Amino acid sequence: MKNMKFIVWAGTALGAIGGYLYWKEIGCLTGTCPLKSQWQTMVPIGAYFGFVIGDLVKGFVNPEKKNNDAES
């Protein structure tokens, strides 16, 4: 895969969907939970976690070569 940014974008999209589904299925029944009671907060939080996990996976799949100029 030459374009590894796809993994990060896919992770972000899946995280946003996961945040929405978490709000819809689990959420907060009473409405007093500040983060779980509104979908407007759960979708960006899910997207953030999806981005972080996607970036982590990208690092494992295609590790960047380190610059060894400092040792020379």
Packing angle of the helix pair 39-61, 5-25 (nearest 10 deg):
150
- 27 found inside a domain: yes
Distance CA 35, CA 54 (A): 23
Domain that holds residue 43: 8-58
- 50 found inside a domain: yes
**pTM of the predicted model as reported, rounded to 2 decimal places:** 0.75
Q: What is the mean pLDDT of the chain?
A: 82
Q: What is the domain count for the chain?
A: 1
Instruction: Render pLDDT for 19-30 as a digit per residue (tens, 0 to 9).
Output: 999 988 888 877
Instruction: Render pLDDT for 7-51 as a digit per residue (tens, 0 to 9).
Output: 888 999 999 999 999 988 888 877 788 777 888 999 999 999 999
- Please count the CA atoms within 13 angstroms of the CA of 44 that sit on its side-chain side: 4
What is the DSSP-derived secondary structure letter of residue 37? S
Q: What is the pLDDT of residue 70?
A: 52
Q: What is the pLDDT of residue 71?
A: 52
- 30 found inside a domain: yes
- 54 found inside a domain: yes
- 70 found inside a domain: no
